[in-house]
């Protein structure tokens, strides 16, 4: 990419608040250099004029690219191989959501390869006001995804997001933080060190140019990218009003599985999760549940382990006869028949099977339960 083209993309990234589908369409049609020139000179239609009016005189593209360069990052668009085309295809099917548009460019920093990540990733999101339970579960799921070569996408926030990023890093997994401000603006500031590690080993990405501060509406706009880059979105904890519910809504709108982790009904931090479950979200209790949703065909979650009982192998008749023996003491076959409500002839066979299985013991014509070892 020549400097001129890069600078045009950087200029276009800042000049309209994303997503701006009209500007994106113009750029696809005439190319970034021509599009930037037209915006700068006001040679655009009314919609783009209005969307770019406030910022078209601002050109700090060279500075922005310098900042990006200093961080070792790259500015990618739909022409780049790294662009997650497949993942972003999901935006095509969304209607009724004004922000449901593919981004025009992404500012990306980190060694991971975005297009590859989006093929096997889950978003782990949730409330900033997480409980110890929520942070534990987020970390457990993230570590489990890392162990199964799946990336963990999240928003870099306090609480659930941070627990997920940190656990993925600790497990040498790949994690992606999608920011609601510039890639050089760590938010929250207290997560600066963590985000440095994320961009050192995974990816930090944003559709906002360097220096931009996150704002409330940008979090909501950003959430669509978190949902789009992940094969499924799981909300670990969310209060009655949580941004995580917005990410889950995006996942649903994009046709991706919406998932929630149940929690104590006595915990206000799980209210949002239970609302999602009530609305039909997938129940996630283990990493395997998530991998089943984002993984390759056939990666089914194994059955939950069930404690086994020696009675499992018994047929109904034998179990019925077994139940008719008293906890203490012994019974004759006739007494067993009465207790079981079966004809005497029908208890002898089952008693013999139970004796062979070592479950009952015969002694002097009477039967009793064998002591469990």
Give the nearest distance from C-beta 350 to its own copies in angstroms. Answer: 13
Task: Evaluate whether 109 touches 183 at the Cβ level (below 8 Å).
Answer: yes
In the bound state with its own copies, the residue whose beta carbon lies nearer, of 14 and 199, is: 14
Q: By C-beta, is 177 or 340 nearer to its own copies?
A: 340
Q: How far apart are CA 179 and CA 153, in angstroms?
A: 11
Rule CB under 8 A: is residue 300 a binding residue for its own copies? no
Please state, in angstroms and as integers, the Cα–Cα distance from residue 248 to each residue in 6, 124, 260, 262, 285, following that order: 34, 10, 9, 15, 17
Among 7, 24, 38, 51, which residue sits at the site for its own copies (rule: CB under 8 A)?
51
Q: What is the DSSP letter of 180?
A: S
Q: What is the rounded CA–CA span in Å between residue 227 and residue 254?
A: 8
In the region spanning residues 311 to 370, those forming contacts with its own copies, defined by CB under 8 A, are: 319-320, 322-324, 326, 334, 337-344, 346
* 240 forms part of the interface with its own copies (CB under 8 A): yes
Which residue in the set 29, 96, 193, 278 belongs to the binding site for its own copies (CB under 8 A)?
Answer: 278
Q: Which stretch binds its own copies (CB under 8 A): 28-36, 162-170, 215-223, 351-359?
A: 215-223
Q: How far is the CB of 80 from its own copies (least distance, A)?
A: 25
Determine the Cα–Cα distance for residues 191 and 205; give it in Å rounded to an integer: 15
Nearer to its own copies, 51 or 191 (CB): 51
Tokens of 239: 């209060």
Alpha helices in the chain (DSSP H): 3-15, 21-30, 32-41, 46-52, 61-70, 85-89, 114-117, 132-147, 160-170, 192-201, 216-229, 243-253, 271-278, 287-294, 316-323, 333-340, 345-356
Of 25-33, 119-127, 146-154, 273-281: span binding its own copies (CB under 8 A):
273-281
| Structure tokens, 12 | 């276009």
Which residues lie near its own copies (CB under 8 A)?
16-17, 50-51, 53-55, 58, 133, 136-137, 213, 215-218, 239-241, 261-266, 270-271, 273-275, 277-278, 282-286, 304-307, 309, 319-320, 322-324, 326, 334, 337-344, 346
């Amino acid at each position: 990419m020549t400097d001129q083209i890069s600078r045009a993309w950087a200029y276009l990234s800042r000049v309209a608040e994303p997503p701006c589908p009209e500007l994106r369409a113009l750029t696809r049609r005439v190319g970034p250099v021509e599009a930037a020139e037209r915006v700068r000179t006001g040679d655009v239609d009314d919609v783009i004029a209005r969307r770019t009016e406030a910022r078209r005189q601002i050109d700090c593209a060279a500075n922005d690219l310098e900042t990006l360069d200093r961080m070792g990052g790259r500015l990618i668009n739909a022409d780049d191989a790294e662009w997650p085309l497949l993942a972003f295809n999901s935006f095509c099917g969304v209607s009724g959501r004004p922000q449901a548009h593919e981004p025009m460019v992404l500012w990306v920093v980190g060694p991971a390869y975005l297009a590859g990540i989006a093929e096997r990733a889950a978003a782990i999101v949730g409330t900033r006001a997480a409980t110890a339970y929520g942070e534990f579960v987020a970390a457990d799921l993230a570590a489990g995804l890392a162990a199964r070569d799946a990336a963990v996408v999240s928003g870099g926030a306090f609480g659930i997001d941070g627990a997920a990023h940190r656990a993925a890093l600790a497990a040498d997994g790949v994690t992606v933080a999608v920011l609601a401000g510039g890639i050089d603006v760590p938010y929250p500031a207290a997560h600066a060190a963590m985000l440095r590690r994320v961009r050192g080993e995974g990816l930090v990405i944003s559709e906002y140019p360097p220096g931009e501060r996150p704002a409330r509406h940008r979090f909501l706009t950003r959430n669509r990218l978190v949902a789009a880059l992940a094969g499924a979105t799981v909300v670990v904890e969310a209060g009655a009003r949580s941004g995580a519910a917005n990410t889950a809504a995006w996942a649903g709108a994009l046709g991706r599985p919406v998932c929630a982790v149940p929690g104590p009904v006595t915990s206000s931090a799980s209210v949002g999760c239970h609302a999602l479950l009530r609305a039909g979200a997938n129940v996630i209790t283990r990493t395997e549940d998530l991998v089943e949703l984002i993984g390759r065909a056939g990666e089914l979650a194994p059955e939950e382990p069930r404690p086994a009982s020696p009675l499992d192998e018994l047929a109904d008749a034998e179990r019925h006869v077994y139940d008719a023996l008293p906890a203490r003491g012994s019974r004759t076959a006739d007494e067993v028949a009465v207790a079981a409500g079966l004809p005497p002839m029908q208890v002898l066979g089952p008693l013999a099977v139970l004796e062979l299985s070592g479950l009952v013991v015969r002694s002097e014509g009477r039967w009793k339960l064998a002591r469990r070892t």
